Amino acid sequence: MRQSPVLPILQIVHRPGILDLSWGHPDPAVLPVAALRRATATVLERYGAEALTYGAERGPGPLIEWICTRLAHTDARAPEPTDVVITAGASQALDLLCTLCTTPGDTVLVESPTYHLAVRILRDHPLELVAIPADANGINIDMLETLLAQLARCGKRARMLYCVPTHHNPTGSCMSLERRRALATVAAEHGVLLVEDDVYRELSYDAPAPPSVWSIAPPGTVARIGSFSKSLAPGLRLGYLTSDALLTQRLIGSGLLDSGGGLNPFVALTVAEVCASGDFDATVAHLCATYRERRDALAGGLRDHLPPGCRFTVPGGGFFQWVELPEGIDAGALLPHAEQAGVAYLPGSRFYLNEPRHNTLRLAFSLYPPHQLIEAARRLGEAITAVA
Tens digits of per-residue pLDDT, 98-134? 999 999 999 999 999 999 999 999 999 999 999 999 9
Please work out, in degrees rounded to the nearest 5, the angle formed at the alpha carbon of residue 242 by the alpha carbons of 113 and 123: 40
C-alpha torsion 223→118→301→359, nearest 10: -120
Q: By percentage, how much of the chain surpasses pLDDT 90? A: 95
217 CB contacts (<8 Å, ≥6 apart)? 184, 187, 188, 194
What pTM, to 2 d.p., does this model score?
0.95
Residue 142 per-residue DSSP state:
H
Q: How far apart are CA 374 and CA 300, in angstroms?
A: 7
Residue 137 per-residue DSSP state:
T
* CATH number of this structure's domain 19-30+281-387: 3.90.1150.10
Residue 160 bridge partners (DSSP): 108, 193
CATH 3.90.1150.10 domain residues, the chain: 19-30+281-387
pLDDT in tens, 43-89: 999 999 999 999 999 999 999 999 999 999 999 999 999 999 999 99
Residue type, 118: A
pLDDT in tens, 276-324: 999 999 999 999 999 999 999 999 999 999 999 999 999 999 999 999 9
Helix (H) or strand (E) holding 50: none
Confidence of residue 2 (pLDDT cuts 50, 70, 90): low
Contact 277, 354 (CB under 8 A): no
Residue type, 119: V
How far CA 303 is from CA of 212, 308, 380, 386, in Å, comes to: 32, 10, 12, 18
CATH architecture of 35-277: 3-Layer(aba) Sandwich (3.40)
pLDDT in tens, 12-37: 888 999 999 999 999 999 999 999 99
Helix (H) or strand (E) holding 311: strand 311-312
Contact 228, 239 (CB under 8 A): yes
- Residue 171 phi/psi, 5-degree rounding, is -85, -15
pLDDT in tens, 241-253: 999 999 999 999 9
Q: How far apart are CA 12 and CA 348, in angstroms?
A: 20
What mean pLDDT value characterizes the chain?
Answer: 96
Summarize the confidence of residues 163-190 as an average pLDDT. Answer: 97
Q: How far apart are CA 341 and CA 347, in angstroms?
A: 16
Q: What is the 3-state secondary structure (H, E, C) of 230-270?
A: CCCCHHHCCEEEECCHHHHHHHHCCHHHHHHCCCCHHHHHH
Kindly write down the DSSP assignment for every residue of 70-136, as one continuous string: HHHHHSSSPPPGGGEEEESSHHHHHHHHHHHH--TT-EEEEEES--HHHHHHHHTS--EEEEEEEET
- 124: how many CB neighbours lie within 10 A of its CB? 11
Contact 307, 385 (CB under 8 A): yes
Q: How far apart are CA 144 and CA 133, in angstroms?
A: 8
CATH 3.40.640.10 domain residues, the chain: 35-277
Contact 110, 167 (CB under 8 A): no
